[in-house]
Amino acid sequence: MTVLDRLGRPMHDLRISVTDRCNFRCIYCMPREVFGPGFQFLPRSDLLTFEEIARLARLFVANGISKIRLTGGEPLLRRDLPRLVELLAAIDGLDDLAMTTNGALLATHAASLARAGLGRVTVSLDSLDDDVFGRLNDVGMSVNRVIAGIEAAEAAGLGPIKIDTVVRRGINEDSILPLALEARRRGWIIRFIEYMDVGTTNGWRMEDVVPASEILATIEQELPLEPLEPTYPGEVASRYRYLDGQGEMGVIASVTRPFCATCTRARLSAEGQLYLCLFGMRAHDLKGPLRAGVSDVALEGIVRTAWERRNDRYSEIRSEATTDRPRVEMSHIGG
């Protein structure tokens, strides 16, 4: 059943955060000065159980969701994650089950996730240079460990591998071309992401954004590109293929090329709050009714009503006034 919001956008993608914790402290997502040793993460009792997540996921699929992506924080910090994957993979009507990870623990878990039914993974990798990568992840994580995780995922059949690269001016714009070349060589699909003002703790400034046009111009110095059509309505990445036919890449340009008009994503936080925009400030509580024992029909009604009333389009109206408003942190809803 298709549910449309006030702007005629259907629900199609659901991102499920399974934890608000992460083993990185990326400066654009979980800066150490905020998420330091004294930061209070959610107690385990506040997290949705795997059975609760699966129950909600079935209701979302019944209302048009065909893609689910597991996120965090870092999802591989959630114990026994393959068990959740098994529950989700068994849902009739779910066409695509994926996960986004920083890759640090992927070598250990890739095979078990694949056996459980995970379809593919996206790995965050912001540079091939250890010094630059370390400056961004702020925990001294090496590129080689992430590469090892990617290779384990490939060996387990979790492909095609996608790479997410957030570009921040003054830090890793010199990594754009090396990453594009390496991704092309290895057969990865890389997505370069404009640095976004998600949440309020990452110190975002417009002057730190490397626009998609500059990213593409950098790559085209060596690798000529031509645009591709979206693979489905609501795809957030603008896709390009290399003119010689050897692979593709993309850019996600929420800042300079807003795509709110076609956004089909819903986000479920680790403690059962439904957000309808990456830059959301208001959530719809699903855990409370769920644990109060309401029926599936009642839960489905909450989801449908929330989506039908949705009119979010933050990136289209972004301004000096809007960037100061409260917003949910990326680490809380998984980007």
pLDDT of 84-127, one tens digit each?
A: 999 999 999 999 999 999 999 999 999 999 999 999 999 999 99
Q: Residue 5 domain-assigned?
A: no
> Which residues 6+ apart lie within 8 Å of 185 measured at CB?
none
15: nearest Cα among 284, 189, 273? 273
Higher per-residue pLDDT: 284 or 323 = 284
Q: What CA–CA distance (Å, rounded) separates 68 from 63? A: 13
CATH number of 93's domain:
3.20.20.70
CB atoms within 10 A of CB 45: 7
Angle formed by the axes of helices 296-308 and 50-62, nearest 10°: 60
Task: Say what the pLDDT of residue 315 is.
Answer: 73
Q: What is the pLDDT of residues 173-219, one digit of tens each?
A: 999 999 999 999 999 999 999 998 776 667 778 889 999 999 999 99
254 pLDDT band, cuts 50/70/90, is confident
Q: What CA–CA distance (Å, rounded) separates 217 from 137? A: 26
**Residue 8 tokens, joined:** 């005629």
Beta pairing class for 248-252 and 189-194: parallel
Cα-Cα-Cα-Cα dihedral sign, residues 268, 23, 159, 122:
positive
Task: Say what the pLDDT of residue 322 is.
Answer: 60
Q: Residue 230 domain-assigned?
A: yes
Higher per-residue pLDDT: 147 or 312 = 147
CB atoms within 10 A of CB 2: 8
Task: Say what the pLDDT of residue 206 is.
Answer: 84
Task: Say what the pLDDT of residue 83 is.
Answer: 98
Q: What CA–CA distance (Å, rounded) separates 101 from 152? A: 13
Measure the CA dihedral 322/21/44/328, to 10°.
0
Task: Say what the pLDDT of residue 201 is.
Answer: 67
Q: What percent of the chain has pLDDT over 90?
A: 78
Indicate the average pLDDT of the chain.
Answer: 92
Q: What CA–CA distance (Å, rounded) separates 325 from 199? A: 9
Q: Residue 2 domain-assigned?
A: no
Residue span of the structural domain in which 160 resides: 13-333
Longest dimension (CA), the chain: 59
pTM for the whole thing?
Answer: 0.94
Q: Is the pLDDT assigned to residue 56 strictly greater than 90?
A: yes
Task: Say what the pLDDT of residue 277 is.
Answer: 83
Q: Residue 8 domain-assigned?
A: no
Q: Residue 1 domain-assigned?
A: no
Q: Residue 209 domain-assigned?
A: yes
Q: Residue 205 domain-assigned?
A: yes
323 pLDDT band, cuts 50/70/90, is low
Q: Residue 235 domain-assigned?
A: yes
- DSSP state letter for 269: -
Q: What is the mean pLDDT of residues 123-136?
A: 97
Task: Say what the pLDDT of residue 333 is.
Answer: 72
Q: What CA–CA distance (Å, rounded) separates 250 from 261? A: 19
Q: In the chain, how many domains are there?
A: 1
Q: Is the pLDDT assigned to residue 148 strictly greater than 70?
A: yes
